[in-house]
Amino acid sequence: MRLADAQLTFLRMADILLSHGLHSQGSEREKAILGLKALLLVRDMAGVSKEIVITNLKTLEGSFFAEEIVAALRAKAVNMDEVLELRRRIDALISNETVFLTAKSLGLDKG
């Protein structure tokens, strides 16, 4: 993936993850899906970028796609200027998606 003289936007990142996921299987495909889910933790992402992320998730997850997961991720989203909190939430998502999505006692249900 080469991005010479190009800005890496959320939309472009979502499409890179889609491309990688479509050409991968197993754990590599799951990593692409998790990357798309992590993007949904950015609250102040442009609406069109958010829709592309969701569309790409639907493509990769197929019948496993769940609007409830998207809603849960968006409920835990933070603004980009909260870099440390955003990173903490992404790390928690990557560590254990199920625990992250249901966690209330970890202070992850703010916002």
Give tens-digit pLDDT for 13-46: 999 999 999 999 999 999 999 999 999 999 999 9
pLDDT at 105: 42
* Residue 65 DSSP one-character state: -
Mean pLDDT, rounded, for 50-59: 98
Q: Which structure tokens are listed for 90? A: 């992404």
Alpha helices in 1-111 (DSSP H): 10-22, 26-39, 47-61, 67-75, 83-95, 97-102
Residue 8 pLDDT level (bands cut at 50, 70, 90): confident
pLDDT at 103: 82
pLDDT at 86 over 70: yes
pLDDT at 1: 41
- Tell me the C-alpha distance between 17 and 49, whole Å: 13
Give tens-digit pLDDT for 67-84: 999 999 999 999 999 999
Global confidence as pTM = 0.87
